[in-house]
Chains A and B, each alone.
Chain A
Amino acid sequence: MYVYDEHDRKMAAERVAQFRDQTQRALAGELEEDEFLPLRLQNGLYIQRLAPMLRICVPYGMLRSVQLHRLARITRDYDKNYAHFTTRQNVQLNWPALENVPDILAELAEVEMHANQTSGNCIRNTTTDQFAGVQADEITDPRPYCEIIRQWSTFHPEFAYLPRKFKVAVNASEKTDRAAIQVHDIGLQIVRNDAGELGFRVHVGGGLGRTPMVAPVIREFLPELDLLTYLEAVLRVYNRYGRRDNKFKARIKILVKALTPEGFAEKVESEWAHIKDSPTRLTPEAIERIQSYFTEPDYAELDNATELLAQQRFENRAFDQWLQHNIDTHKKPGYAIVSLTMKETGTPPGDVTDQQFEQIADLADEYSFGEARVTHHQNVVLADVRQDRLLELWQQLGPMGFGTANLHTLTDIICCPGGDFCALANAKSIPVAEAIQRRFDDLDFLYDLGNIDLNISGCMNACGHHHVGNIGVLGVDKKGQEFYQVSLGGASQHDASIGKILGPSFAQDDMPDVIAKIIDVYVDTRTEEESFLDTYRRVGITPFKERVYA
Chain B
Amino acid sequence: MPDIIFQDGSIRQNQWVVVFRPESGEPLDIPEQRQVLIPADLWVANRERYAGNENVGVWLDSHDEPETLANHVNELPLIAVNFPKFSDGRGYSIARLLRERFGYKNELRAIGDVLLDQLQFMKRCGFDTYELRPDKDIRKAAKSLNFFSQGYQAATDTDLPLFRRRAS
Contacts and interface: CB of A to CB of B under 8 A. Distances in A.
B149 A14 contact: yes
A523 interface: no
Interface of B: 86-90, 92-93, 96, 101, 115, 117-118, 120-122, 124-125, 137, 147-155, 159-164, 166-167
Nearest to A288: B167
19 contacts: A14-B147, A22-B117, A30-B137, A38-B87, A121-B89, A148-B163, A151-B163, A152-B153, A156-B153, A159-B89, A160-B89, A161-B87, A161-B89, A161-B92, A239-B90, A240-B90, A279-B160, A279-B164, A283-B163
On chain A, which size bracket covers the interface?
Answer: 35 or more
Contact of A158 (B96, B101, B152): B96
Interface stretch (A3-11, A135-143, A298-306, A384-392): A3-11
Given A157-B153, A274-B101, A285-B167, A280 B161 contact: yes
B87 A157 contact: no
Contacts of B163: 148, 151, 282-283, 286, 289
Contacts of A30: 137
Nearest to A286: B163
A35 interface: yes
Given A239-B92, A278-B154, A279-B161, A14 B148 contact: yes
Interface string A258-293: 000000000000000010001110110110010000
A279 B92 contact: no
Interface of A: 5, 7, 10-11, 14-15, 17-18, 22, 30-31, 35, 38-39, 121, 148, 151-152, 154-163, 228, 236, 239-240, 244, 274, 278-280, 282-283, 285-286, 289
A236 B153 contact: no
Contacts of A17: 147
A157 B150 CA distance: 11
Contacts of B96: 158
A162 B147 contact: no
A283 B92 CA distance: 26
Main secondary structure of the interface of B (DSSP, over half): loop
Given A14-B148, A157-B120, A244 B164 contact: no
Contacts of A283: 163-164, 167
B152 A240 contact: no
B152 A35 contact: no
B86 A35 contact: yes
A51 to B, nearest CB: 24
Nearest to B96: A158
B151 A286 contact: no
B162 A239 contact: no
Contacts of B120: 157
Contacts of B86: 35, 161
A326 B151 CA distance: 42
A155 B151 contact: yes
A244 B155 CA distance: 24
